[in-house]
Amino acid sequence: MAETMADRKKAILRAVTDDYISTAEPVGSRTIARKYGLGVSSATIRNEMADLEDEGYLEQPHVSAGRIPSDKGYRFYVDALMPERALTGLEEKKIRAECVKRSDEIQSLIRATARVLGELSNCASIVIGPGVKTAEIRHIQLVPLSADSVLVLVVTNAGLVEHRVLAIDHEMDPRDLENMSRMLNHRLRGSSLAQMRGRVLGEILADLNAYASFLEEMFDLLLSATRSSDQNRVYVDGLMRLLGQPEFNELERARPILEFLESDDLVLTELAGTASRGPGGAYATIGSENQRQELRECSVVCAPYGVGGQVVGTIAVVGPTRIDYSLAMSLVGYMAESLSDLLTRTQSAK
């Protein structure tokens, strides 16, 4: 139905949205007539705007103020009106410079991604790092640390290195550990920690039953590790930038959003859903489209990234519904792609 909108109406909706995105002020018919040469007078635009309001694309904060886009208006803008924006050379350069240089270590990479994304979008940014629970195991190894402790090392296909120290009762021969490492590697490579327990534990125990209790303990440790490390996957940056936005000048409006963003758990579960949309492309969730009450006055632009086609994390930008969708979607899309590239490349290089 929206597609049947007359061209002039679309032009006006686009103008209103563009203007409001950049000024944060309700925009009146006169402004449109002056700044965006549509060749018609303000009165005509007024009439069209009244129609657009009836149809739910625009709304009026007060009767004598200009119009601002409604969530429905933004949705239409994003789907049909928004200018395709390519990143500038400067932006791409900045992204490359910051991200590639940090790619030696995945934590730094993720952190840098969040930082750069926040900076360029001038909004708050979220990056969910790769998790260890469902990731494919690329390497698993036991490293003897001392007489009574062993370091359990797991490297996933996303390049994430997870480790735990396991205390042991009685000294173990390094040779045995070596053997066990080989065995574990052989059995577990390619599967995930999540499925490890059920599927392979039995077989391994059968093969190595001399060390059954040790292995049991080790698996337990790893499983509890996956649980606790999930909270460490969330990186948020640029919270303060939200406060700079005019719509959040009154603290009380910003408070719930900021509190939400400060809680890693909530952010994680909220963005977990996006993984299911599969990699490639950026998605916008506009205002009331958000499930969570706290985000009803925000828009979230996010894109999953992954390794070799499998989604391992998500990056996102959070701003007022007036967020610059064009910029945000380009940025998020590009950075998700970069991340995927980087991770996939490091992984295949091995």
Partner DNA sequence: TTTAGCACTCGGCACAGCAGAGTGCTAACG
Partner DNA sequence: CGTTAGCACTCTGCTGTGCCGAGTGCTAAA
In the complex, the residues that contact its own copies under the rule CB under 8 A are 102, 104-105, 107-108, 111, 138-139, 141, 143, 145-146, 148-149, 151, 153, 155, 159, 161, 163-165, 167, 221, 224-225, 228-229, 231-232, 237-240, 243, 249, 251, 255, 258-259, 262, 346, 349-350
CB of 258 to DNA, least distance (A): 23
Q: What is the largest CA-CA distance in the chain?
A: 88
Residue span 41-80 as binding mask against DNA, x where in contact by CB under 7 A, dash where not? xxxx-xx-xx--x------x-xxxxxx-------------
- Is 313 near DNA (CB under 7 A)? no
3-state per-residue secondary structure call for 314-326: EEEEEEECCCCHH
Q: How far is the CB of 30 from DNA (least distance, A)?
A: 5
Q: Which residue's CB is nearer to its own copies, number 237 or number 324? A: 237
CB of 108 vs its own copies, minimal distance in Å: 5
Residue 46 near which of its own copies, DNA, none (CB within 5-8 Å, type-dependent): DNA
Among 26, 69, 118, 306, binds DNA (CB under 7 A): 26
Q: How far apart are CA 154 and CA 142, in angstroms?
A: 9
DSSP conformation letters of 161-208: EEEEEEE-SS---HHHHHHHHHHHHHHHTTSBHHHHHHHHHHHHHHHT
Number of residues that bind DNA (CB under 7 A): 26
CB of 69 to DNA, least distance (A): 13
Considering CB distances under 5 to 8 angstroms, the limit depending on partner class, which of DNA, its own copies, none binds residue 43?
DNA
Of 1-20, binders to DNA (CB under 7 A) are: 8
Hey, what amino acid is at 240? M
Nearest approach in angstroms of CB 317 to its own copies is: 16
**29 binds DNA, rule: CB under 7 A:** yes
Backbone angles phi, psi at 111, to 5 degrees: -65, -45
Residue 273 beta carbon to its own copies: minimum distance, rounded to whole angstroms:
24
Q: Which amino acid does the sequence have at 257?
A: I
Among 11, 15, 27, 158, which residue interacts with DNA (rule: CB under 7 A)?
27
> What is the Cβ-side half-sphere exposure of residue 289, based on CA atoms within 13 angstroms?
14
Q: How far is CA 201 from CA 107, 125, 204, 231, 268, in A?
A: 30, 39, 5, 26, 29
DSSP conformational letter for 82: P
For 32-68, letters b (16+ CB in 10 Å) and e give: bbeebeeebeeebbbebbeebeebebbeeeeeeebbb
Tokens for 138, please give them. 């690329």
C-alpha 324/C-alpha 33 separation (Å) is: 22
State the residues that interact with DNA by CB under 7 A: 8, 25-31, 39-44, 46-47, 49-50, 53, 60, 62-67
